[in-house]
Chains A and B, each alone.
Chain A
Amino acid sequence: MSFKHYGSRKSGSIGWLLQRITGIFLIFAMVGHYILMHYTPETGHSYEQSVARFSSVYWKMFYLTFISLGLWHGLNGVWSILRDFKMKPWLAITLYGIIVISGFAFWVLGVSTALKF
């Protein structure tokens, strides 16, 4: 008798690929963040300087992309770690629900903040 798997077939290939693509983006974003905020502090840490950055459409696009991809990468990573553990279906659904809802809430918060300026 063959070994039985739990759950039906659900390809993780797209998630696996996106995790890598977003990871590469985040590496560059992290380097950019380091240069901007730590290596060249004269570029601005003050409220006014941050607002000035947010008023640029390019910076706004960057922050929106950063919020979306960073959240997706982080929360998909958490879900991937959780899936390593054998869980009862109700627990898996609950945790998945928490991740999706909190991810959406943080995304709305981040996007609304970025669009305010």
Chain B
Amino acid sequence: MKVTLRIFRFNPETDSKPYYKDYEIEADPKDRVIDVLHYIKNEIDGTLTFRRSCLHGICGSDGMRINGKNMLACSILLQDLGYSDANKTYKKPLVIEPLPGMPIIKDLVTDFTDFWKKYETVKPYLITKSQPPERERLQSPEDAELIMEASKCILCACCTTSCPSTWSNEDYLGPAALLKAYRFIFDSRDEATDERLDIIDTPNGIWRCHTIFHCVQACPKEINITWHISQLKKKLVEREI
């Protein structure tokens, strides 16, 4: 089939403003978006720049906006985007853009500095104050289940950059950082719950979440992020009253 990819291009060294460039290519419905991007980079235009690493939906490097939705380019087939007829020439272009709301370094590559700072703010590591046991700190299967879904996050930033609250307030922690906060606050082995709750209980913290659910729609790991954030809100209310 023939598909046109309309790709967001911007090189801050040569371009005064971003523009879209069309690439018409031959593709298979079972090609992933990352495959066709590789084809363009390797065979048509070597200047096209995008991030990718594992190519199997684990590293979270190739989060981008595909036909208006944040997703991983390595985890979506063309046929899943409506390009399913191998013998057809599609007129509707496949639009590829960088994740929204982030500074653009070049083409589809965005600057994650702010995202990582927010991530660092919630202290994404186990904090313990008691004496360490002789072996590892044990956890029951029930306690592990509480944080199982939150632990699946691959930090691709698809959720945070799809959140309207993040777009309007760049200081808002965002769903990814809050999900990580949940992961440790509800970890039975962690001993810094109050410290962690103080971090998210700020004007630009958890209360900027208005359960819009964009993060849930965007998450390539199908994590119900809004539910996890709601659990944090309930925990804060319980602490306050």
Residues of chain A touching chain B, judged by Cβ–Cβ distance below 8 Å, are: 1-3, 5-7, 9-17, 80, 83-86
Contacts and interface: CB of A to CB of B under 8 A. Distances in A.
Contacts of A16: 207, 233, 237
Q: Which 7 A-B pairs have the closest CB atoms?
A: A12-B207, A3-B117, A3-B121, A13-B240, A13-B236, A13-B237, A7-B203
A14 to B, nearest CB: 6
A71 B55 CA distance: 53
Given A84-B165, A85-B168, A86-B170, A17 B237 contact: yes
A3 B171 CA distance: 9
Contact of A2 (B114, B117, B198, B210): B117
B118 interface: yes
Contacts, number: 67
B201 A7 contact: no
The A interface, classified by DSSP as helix, strand, loop or mixed, is loop
Nearest to A84: B168
Contact of A86 (B120, B171, B241): B171
A3 B205 CA distance: 12
A85 B169 contact: yes
Given A84-B168, A85-B169, A86-B170, A14 B118 contact: no
